[in-house]
Structures are given as C-alpha cells and as structure tokens.
Structure 1
C-alpha cells in the first residue's frame, strides 16, 4: 500500500556523508566520538548526578569503548547521531549531545545531552543543543525534534527552554530509574520555531 506523502528526509541522507564536526561559533565543537574519549566518558559517568538522571552506569573504560563504537555505528544505520562536545581550542571533553530515535521518513528525532561536572553552569548544553538543532533543521531537513527529561531535573528543563524547546506536557511514570518511576517533561521544537 503506497504512502500518501513522501518521506520528509530520504533514507540514505546521513549514511552517504561522513558525520560532520559542528562548531558552535562560541568556543565549543561538536565532533564525532573517538575511542580515545573512553577514559573521559568513564570518568563523567562516575559523577553521582549522572546516576540520578541517567539509567546507565559505566563499569569500565572497556565498556565505554563499546558504547563509542556503537554510537559511531548509529550514524551509518541512521538510527542515532552522537557527538562529543569539546572545547574548540583544547579538545577537552565537556559533554555529549545526540539525536536519538531518528525517523528520517517522519522527519523526527529526539535530542539528548549531558555535561561533565566541571562544565555545568556554563551554557554548554544549551549551546550544543542549539547548534545541533540548527544543523538538524537546516542541513538535514528534519521537521520536529523532541527533548525529554525527568520533571524533577530543573536544570535540564532550563536547558530545553533556553534552546527553544517548548514545553508540551508531562508523560506520567514514563521512565524507570534506580530510585523508581520518573514522570518526564516533553519539550519540542519544530522547523520554523
């Protein structure tokens, strides 16, 4: 049965090009992950705040190396696109920003991010999310980006608002964390916002 509409973004749009590095224009760079990032990612995941808001833990650098290999393969499969957020001048890892759950045909993806402890409060997540959103809309042609976070995570809610993601509602008891089920705020940006 044929669809009545064409795909928003044709299959192959990501896979046919190398994953780009994206400068924010204000001192940060979003670049593809490298295996040498594993020690810094492992260290970031030892932070108790990461355990509070994320559902994954890192038990070893070898495990994190496996994550990085998986993150890179997500580009070719067009299911996710993950970037290391680094200081442009030094290459120091400050965080991660990603498009997850990419549905090219529907023109949608979910934005996710985290920052290392020493980078919090410096606008890193906002700047990285804004840069990634602009690229996803203007260069790739996505139509809608969603962003979700635990309702109790006020810092993430501020990031979403500052990056132009409008609050759309609450998904009750939507994600199981080690401390129980979390209600999740849903934010979104659509092309033209």
Structure 2
C-alpha cells in the first residue's frame, strides 16, 4: 500500500506532544508496557464500560494484543498510542480505529489508569490525538461512541469539542457479554470545528 507509512508511528519522528502529555507507541517487547496495558484492561471501571472481543488476562496475551495493534498501524487500519506525562510515566491509552482514508473518518477510543484519573488526562489526550489525526492523517470526521450512562466519557467528549449527535440503539456489547447489547451515545468532531481550550490551560 502506497500510503501505509502515513499511519505508522515512526520512532524517528517527533512524538505528538502538548498539554503536558506525550503520545508514544506501545512496545510489545517490553514487560513493563505489557503489564500496564494488561492492568488497564483488567480495571473494573474499564470492564464496566468496555467489552473487548477478547479479554487478555496474562502478560503473553497483552504482548500479543500490542503486536496486533502494531500490525494494524502498519496496515493503516488503526493507530494506538500510550499516553504519558512529560516524565514518561504511562497514564493510559488513546487510539484511532476504523481509519478510512477514502472517507477521511476514524473512531476514537481511550482509557486512563485509575491512579491518573481526575486530572483531565483523557480530555488533553483526546485534544492532542484529534489534532494529530486531522493534521497528519488528513482526516475530516472523528467519531466517538460511549455507552449510555458513562457520564465521565460524555464529559470528556464534550470538553474536547465532540458534539453529541444522537443515540445508536444497541450498538455495543453489554459489560462482560457478547450476547447482549446496549445503547451508545455518538459524538463527533470535524476538522473544521474550532479546537477547544485544554483544561488547566493558562
């Protein structure tokens, strides 16, 4: 594919940074990265609102999941970032999935480790990733869906300039199940929308 390089996170390129954060590639060969990723996915709050197709519970599974994300990035299907502070401490993850170069769209998802919550990490990371997606990938429309009732995620979306557009009926799995569904609030932001001021900006 002629354009796959546009979606990969090249270590030689400057990492997206700003708002006190850096967006870095996960390292599937790092036990520390795999353990942090595993811990994020086993967190009860993550599991309440997200139901992965496969839940990895051990380090080997976490490493395989990170390798799969690297392959998806190389193929231009998605990009997944490890969110860190300026010192390199991992705070969570933000990713762009279902990237369509033809339609200039993608779906955004994120999670924050329990110890990093309450500091505007998700909002700042979403602002950073959104700007990067529009500037570097040339995307026009970014969509964000969260389970109805997930008020914290709704606030992150709104603070990041993702307008509420409606409710998608039974568009995601119920917690811990693949045989039952729940409604989703759809938010979206366009490249032409004004970028909000990040929380705590001076």
Q: So what's the TM-score if we normalise by structure 1?
A: 0.88
Match of 2:22 among 29, 46, 49: 29
Alignment-derived partner of residue 67 in structure 1: 65
Q: Where do residues 90-169 of structure 1 align in structure 2 (5 Å cutoff)?
A: 91-169=88-166
Q: Secondary structure at the match of 1:45?
A: helix
Show structure 2 runs of 5+ residues with no match: 194-202
Deviations 1:75-101 (A, max 9, x none): 110000000001221x22110001000
What is the alpha-carbon distance in structure 2 between the residues aligned to residue 17 and residue 185 of structure 1?
30
Deviations 1:12-53 (A, max 9, x none): 4525772652112x3211001112200111122221111101
Alignment-derived partner of residue 7 in structure 1: none
Q: Secondary structure at the match of 2:93?
A: strand
Q: So what's the TM-score if we normalise by structure 2?
A: 0.84
Alignment-derived partner of residue 196 in structure 2: none
Could you tell me how far 1:105 is from its partner in structure 2?
Answer: 0.9
- Provide the alpha-carbon RMSD of the alignment: 1.7
- Number of equivalences: 182
Deviations 1:92-147 (A, max 9, x none): 21100010000011100001100101111111111111001111112221110000
Q: Secondary structure at the match of 1:72?
A: helix
Deviations 1:153-176 (A, max 9, x none): 000000000110000000011111
CA change 1:88–1:102 in 2 (3 A) is: same
Match of 1:54 among 40, 50, 55: 50
